Amino acid sequence: MKNTDWETLYNCAKKAVNPKKISEQICSGGVGAAVVSNTGNIYTGVCIDTDCSLGMCAERNAVSTMITNGEIEVKMVVAVDKKGNVLPPCGACREFMMQLKNSQETEVLVDNKGTVVKLKDLMPHSYS
């Protein structure tokens, strides 16, 4: 397994940030996320925001890319806005990740101070 530290993962998420207007109703890239799979591979994603709220958060986008590439377990996750601020995952992202295999111990960076929290502690009463 590759050794990925939080600084590397943060930089991958920050690099993914690329705000742009897609259409009159859609913008993307205001938040970037990076996840590390249990095999050590890093996947990134960006948020996609729509006027009708049918978009997708950067974390779920990154996890979807991971799944598309045949992996199903997240070891670490971080999301970053265009100013470089670390953002904890929203409730929908927390629940989505909790339903993945072996997700209880997934580590989540929740602030720029380096605070790392286990996903199970962010989502103590999940659907799963």
Q: Looking at residue 1, what is its pLDDT?
A: 39
How high is the pLDDT of residue 106?
Answer: 97
The pair of structure tokens assigned to 8 is: 């590397």
Q: What is the pLDDT of residues 67-112, one digit of tens each?
A: 999 999 999 999 999 999 999 999 999 999 999 998 999 999 999 9
Q: What stretches of the chain show up as alpha helix (H) in DSSP? A: 6-16, 58-68, 91-98, 119-122
pLDDT over 80 (residue 3): no
For residue 59, give both structure tokens: 């974390």
Residue whose structure tokens are 């997700």 = 103
27, 19, 82, 31: which is closest to 59 by C-alpha?
Answer: 31
Tens of pLDDT, residues 6-36: 999 999 999 999 999 999 999 999 999 999 9
* CATH of segment(s) 6-122: 3.40.140.10
Rounded alpha-carbon distances, angstroms, from residue 32 to 46, 47, 74? 4, 7, 16
